[in-house]
Structure formats: structure tokens, C-alpha cells
Amino acid sequence: MIPLSWYLIFAALLFCIGIYGVLVRKNAIAILMGIELMLNAVNVNLIAFWRYRDPAGVAGQAFAIIVFAVAAAEVAVGLALIISIYRRRNSVVADDINLLKW
């Protein structure tokens, strides 16, 4: 059978890939994709824990559902912001959005 550790390691890997994507990609939309990866890894973690620790309860599931909702809302808002920025500055390169610098 598959031990919990496999799922956890897998989730960790996906999460770190997501971190790499957030930190390294230039395009703002690509950064958002990285964030999506991270959220998915979290979800996998949650469901894995639910399945392996308390499959009769609904806590893990409820949590995962909430995470789904939050992720969706966040992507929508984030992309709306990026489109708005693109309309203003004609660029979605993250490094160019630096008006708050010193």
C-alpha cells in the first residue's frame, strides 16, 4: 500500500516547484500559475491527511473545499488585476511593476 510519506513528499515537491515558479518567473501570469501549483499541493496534503488520519470525519474535506473556493477567488481577482495593470502600463513583466520602490 502507499504510505502517507509518499503523498507528503510529492506534495512537498510540488509545493517547492510552485515556490520556484513564483520566485523566478518574469511574467505575472506565470507567477499566478506558480501560486496555483502551491495551492494544489496544499490541497493534496489536506486530502491525504484526511484519508490517512480520519477518513470518517469531514474536517479535512471541508477544509479542502474552502481552499478550492479561495483559490478560485484569488485567481479571478489576481488575473483581473493583471489585466488592469496591462491596460495601464502595457506590460505584465513583474519587474516592471515597481512603483512602490524607494
Footprint on residues 29-88 left by other proteins (CB under 8 A): 29-34, 36-37, 40, 43-44, 47-48, 50-53, 55-56, 58-59, 61-62, 64-66, 68-77, 79-84, 86
Beta carbon of residue 96, minimum distance to other proteins (angstroms, whole number): 9
Output the CA torsion sign for 98, 79, 84, 87: positive
In which residue are the cell numbers 516547484 written? 17
Beta carbon of residue 34, minimum distance to other proteins (angstroms, whole number): 6
In which residue are the cell numbers 505575472 written? 28
Applying CB under 8 A, does 100 fall inside the site for other proteins? Answer: yes
Applying CB under 8 A, does 21 fall inside the site for other proteins? Answer: yes
Using CA atoms, how far apart are residues 77 and 63, in angstroms rounded to an integer? 21
Applying CB under 8 A, does 90 fall inside the site for other proteins? Answer: yes
Q: How many residues sit in the footprint of other proteins (CB under 8 A)?
A: 80
- CB distance 15 to 42 below 8 Å: yes
Record the cell numbers describing residue 90, joined without a space. 502595457
